[in-house]
Amino acid sequence: MGAVSITLLFILIVLGVPILIAIFMYNRLVTLRNRSDNAWHQIDVQLQKRADLVPNLVETVKGYAAHEKGVFEEVTKARSIYSQAGTVKEKAEATNMLTSTLKTLFAVVENYPELKANQNFLLLQEELSGIESKIAYARQFYNDIVMTFNNTQQVFPSSIIANTFGFKPREYFEIEETKREAPKVDFK
Amino acid sequence: MVYEEISANKRKSFLLLFLFVVFFLFVGWVFGQAYGAGGAGVLIALLLALFISLITFFWGDRMVLGISRARPVDRKQNPYLANVVEGLAIAAGVPPPKTYVIEDSAPNAFATGRNPQNSAVAVTTGLLDKLNRLELEGVIAHEMSHIRNYDIRYATFVVILVGTVALLSDWMRRSFFFRGRRGKKGGAGGGLIMLIALLLAILAPIVAQLIRLAISRQREYLADANGALLTRYPEGLASALDKISKDKEPLEAANKATANLYIINPLLEHKGKLNDLFSTHPPVEDRISRLRAM
């Protein structure tokens, strides 16, 4: 009787412990996947906000610099490419394009002192630099989570669970790193 | 590591509440004995202590903001502050705290609240005027790590509860002085009680000071480091700390109770060696050099 129950206990431990570990690992992978979804959503919200700001910005600049048609077309084109982008990689590419066209737009603005003093334009500019830093922070948050998620899928033994249940590594959100400097926004 | 910090802060917050209630019960008992009211003193003290604890838990942040004369600002009134705060909330993975502004030209900032879902950051107008965007981000990142670590709950409890104890003991010291002068009524037993009460009145502010000291020094370094991790740019906070500490204006709305909340001690009395010993904040030069070494 005693021997039987000891054997049963032994079998239970031998089977039970690995199953418990597997459950724990599976749950951790699911949590990380949900967290990276959530983090990606944060980036997406900010990217969308930026894209929504573009028509307004273009209109305001047009009021002062109507003949700079080429720049407006570039920006509008980049925006429409962005709105068609679906995957993380496509969105990153479209974002880079939109960023560089916006840079050209702001370079053009430098030639119009009156526009630079326009209250509405200044508000848009502040909004834009706010969104850009939020994109940078959201991207940092997302990439950190993706790194943990991908690492967990690759290291042994959680790699077994990841392969069995078809977990896929996530793409990092790679955009051109803008140099850290304080944007000059003067409301006076 | 952050999770350990969080549970340590939660534990300390409730230990503080517990000690506060015990202190009140003791004071109530002493008063009951001294005035011959018996158990009624303890009962009144218990009700009072529970009442104050509840208020501190749910309205402590609003009390602190009120004492500091901070007024709420939304993103329409100040899009710049709103953007910086929201950006760092995203980086820290917490909901954006409410934003407040204190009308004062001395640059400083603090955070309060009971958890990340119910939190607030307050900055002075001087801070907004004197810092550039990267420096402001550094300061807000420091406050954001206080919020995420639940430092805000503990610090807010300390302000209200220790403040109440200090007020009460001050009042007791005066009231016993009066009684002592008007002649003794009680016998030898009454005299002993009076002695305990007197001792208590002297000890209470010292205990209060010790509790306050126990909280800040290490957590300021930690919030600096975590803040730098959020912005990935330690120089922003380092340069902000440099500017704030070199500013010679005192912050009018700050007092001894709320001083430990601020990113840099707002009371410009931290010159002597003794003050350095009793200071709630580590020396600024040390904080700056640690940030620059990252």
DSSP A16-64: HHHHHHHHHHHHHHHHHHHHHHHHHHHHHHHHHHHHHHHHHHHHHHHTT
CA quadruple B150, B80, A176, B290: dihedral positive or negative? negative
* Residue A9 to residue A15: CA distance in whole angstroms: 10
pLDDT at residue B183, as a whole number: 47
Residue B24 phi/psi, 5° resolution? -65, -40
Q: Is the pLDDT of residue B50 over 80?
A: yes
pLDDT of residue B292: 92
Which of B80, B91, B233 minimises the CB distance to A126? B80
The band of A188, judged by pLDDT with boundaries at 50, 70 and 90, is: very low
Q: Please give the single-letter amino acid code of residue B289.
A: S
Q: Tell me the per-residue pLDDT of A35-53, one tens digit each, with 9 for 90 and over.
A: 999 999 988 899 889 888 8
Minimum mean pLDDT range among A99-113, A116-130, B59-73, B255-269: B255-269
Compute CA distances B38 → B20, B29, B35, whole Å.
21, 7, 8
Instruction: Give the pLDDT confidence score for residue A51 in this predicted structure.
Output: 87
Assess A180–B contact: CB distance below 8 Å, yes or no.
yes
Mean pLDDT comparison of A12-26, A102-116, B8-22, highest-scoring range: A12-26
| B84 min Cα distance to partner chain A (Å) | 7
Residues 137-196 in B contacting A (C-alpha not used; CB under 8 Å) = 137
Spell out which residues of chain B touch residue A46, defining contact as CB-CB under 8 Å.
Answer: 90
pLDDT above 70 for B188 = no
| B197 vs B263, more confident | B263
Nearest residue to B111 (alpha-carbon basis) of B150, B79, B81: B150
pLDDT in tens, A3-34: 888 899 988 888 889 899 999 999 999 999 99
SS3 B70: strand
Q: Which residues of B are catalytic?
A: 143
- Residues of chain A found within 8 Å of residue B233, distances taken between Cβ atoms: 180
The residue that leads in pLDDT, A79 or A177, is A79
Cα distance between residue B9 and residue B215, in whole Å: 10
Of B127 and B208, the one with more pLDDT: B127
Does the pLDDT value for residue B275 go beyond 60?
no
Q: Is A126 on the interface with B (CB under 8 A)?
A: yes
List the single range of A27-41, B147-161, B241-255, B275-289 with lowest mean pLDDT.
B275-289
What's the pLDDT at B271? 46
Distance from CA of A135 to the nearest CA of B (A): 8
DSSP per-residue codes, B87-109 = HHHHHHTSPPPEEEEE--SS--E
User: Is B2 an 8 Å CB contact of chain A?
Assistant: no
% of chain A at pLDDT higher than 70: 93
Q: Which of A70-79, A160-169, B77-86, B274-283 has the lowest mean pLDDT?
A: B274-283
- Phi first, then psi: give them for residue B111, nearest 5 degrees: -125, 150
Question: In chain B, pLDDT over 70 holds for what percent of residues?
Answer: 82
pLDDT at B186 over 50: no
Q: Are strands B118-124 and B98-102 parallel, antiparallel or unpaired?
A: parallel
Given this model, what pLDDT does residue B16 score? 83
CA angle B111, B117, B120 (to 5 degrees): 25
Q: For A130, which of B79, B93, B132 is closest by C-beta distance?
A: B79
Task: Tell me the pLDDT of chain A averaged across its residues.
Answer: 86
Is the previous residue joined to A157 through a cis bond, with omega within 30 degrees of 0? yes
Predicted confidence (pLDDT) at residue A184 exceeds the cutoff of 70: no
Q: Among B159, B289, B149, which Cα is nearest to B222's?
A: B149
β-strand partners of B98:
B120
Mean per-residue pLDDT, B226-237: 92
- Ranked by mean pLDDT, the top range of A113-117, A157-161, B174-178, B183-187 is A157-161
A99 in contact with chain B, both atoms CB, cutoff 8 A: no
The answer to whether A109 and A117 have CB atoms below 8 angstroms apart is no
Residue ranges in chain B assigned as alpha helix (H)? 2-34, 39-67, 79-92, 125-130, 133-148, 151-157, 163-181, 188-231, 234-246, 273-278, 284-292
Kindly state whether B233 is in contact with chain A, defined as any CB-CB distance less than 8 angstroms: yes
In chain B, whose CA is at the least distance from the CA of A123? B79
Count CB-CB contacts under 10 A for residue B177: 12
